[in-house]
Amino acid sequence: MSRVRVHILGVRGSTPAPGPEFVRYGGHTSCLALAHDGEAPSLLIDAGTGIRRVSALLQGKPFVGTVLLGHLHWDHTQGLPFFRAGDSPGAEVALFAPAQPDGEVETVLRRAMSPPHFPITPAELRGHWTFRGLEPGEVEMGGFSVAAREIPHKGGRTFGYRISDGRATLAYLSDHCPTSLGPGPDGLGERHEAALSLTSDCDAVFHDGQYTDEELPAKAYFGHSSWGYALGLAEAAGAKSLVVYHHDPDRTDDQIDQVAARYAGAKVSFEPAAEGSILHLGPCR
């Protein structure tokens, strides 16, 4: 019986974080690659600079599959033109993103990816690319069932996703600002219905943890969550494990270790997202 393989290829939020103090957890921005054991990745979640690492996974072959964006901020899209396996004559790529109120997805992407800001437009990527807007609901893509729900995040329509192959389930809420809906039970944000439905009984939850609980009051304005909220949500939803994601670009490896140590007694199994690591989800053979 095949299991789901989750390659963690980018873990930072806002900007990449190069330098020796960011080596262990990684400096690329958001990207996951999902595959079934024995198969090449067919579903990529977000296209931050981490998407560049997919090309090595494919060993020079063009990418055939789906790119699913949670929203259109730079740190989730800037890897697209540097994705060699997608910008390839043999590539076949279906890109999905939340439907935009002010234009088609390709049109909105082109605002940042076109001259004079960039030398080519999305339409000039090689291979066969399609760009599609999503509404909340369920859709099949890349060999997975995907449930999309709108979640609060500042500066544009943002979706969280619940992804399943019928045996394993993963939730992805990379950018999430629950404090915009109220303080919730512990002052860290509301555990609202969309977040709970996406994460309920998941094998793994990837969740925004850009801030510590102490940083949140001053920084929630930027649209992100804290570690404590992510842990509380995962516990309330009955998730099996949590991967704290979208690390602040200024938070060094040692500082991430220090924050994680503060939650060592958490009731939910958790770990900070680390670039280059692989999760295996679903029943063993």
pLDDT at residue number 283: 72
The pLDDT value given to residue 1 = 52
- Position 13 scores a pLDDT of 96
Which domains does the chain show, CATH number per domain? 4-281 (3.60.15.10)
Share of the chain above pLDDT 70, in %: 99
Q: Is it the case that residue 118 has pLDDT exceeding 90?
A: yes
Question: 21-32: buried (b, 16+ CB within 10 Å) or exposed (e) per residue?
Answer: ebeebbbbbbbb
pLDDT for 265 equals 87
- Whole-number pLDDT of residue 284: 55
* pLDDT the model gives residue 38: 87
Cα–Cα distance measured from residue 83 to residue 33, given in angstroms and rounded to the nearest whole number: 13
pTM of the model: 0.96
Average pLDDT over the chain reads: 96
Does residue 212 have a pLDDT over 80? Answer: yes
Which pLDDT does position 208 carry in this prediction?
98
What's the rounded Cα separation, in Å, for the pair 277 and 265?
23
pLDDT of residue 23: 97
Q: Is the pLDDT of residue 91 over 90?
A: yes
Residue 37: pLDDT band (50, 70, 90) is: confident
Instruction: Give per-residue pLDDT as tens, 220-260.
Output: 999 999 999 999 999 999 999 999 999 999 999 999 999 99
* pLDDT tens by residue, 154-189: 999 999 999 999 999 999 999 999 999 999 999 999
Q: Is the pLDDT of residue 83 over 80?
A: yes
- How confident is the model at residue 2, as a pLDDT? 72
* 223 CB-contact burial (10 Å; exposed 0-12 / middle 13-18 / buried 19+): buried
Per-residue confidence at 22, pLDDT binned at 50, 70, 90?
very high
Whether the predicted pLDDT of 285 surpasses 80: no
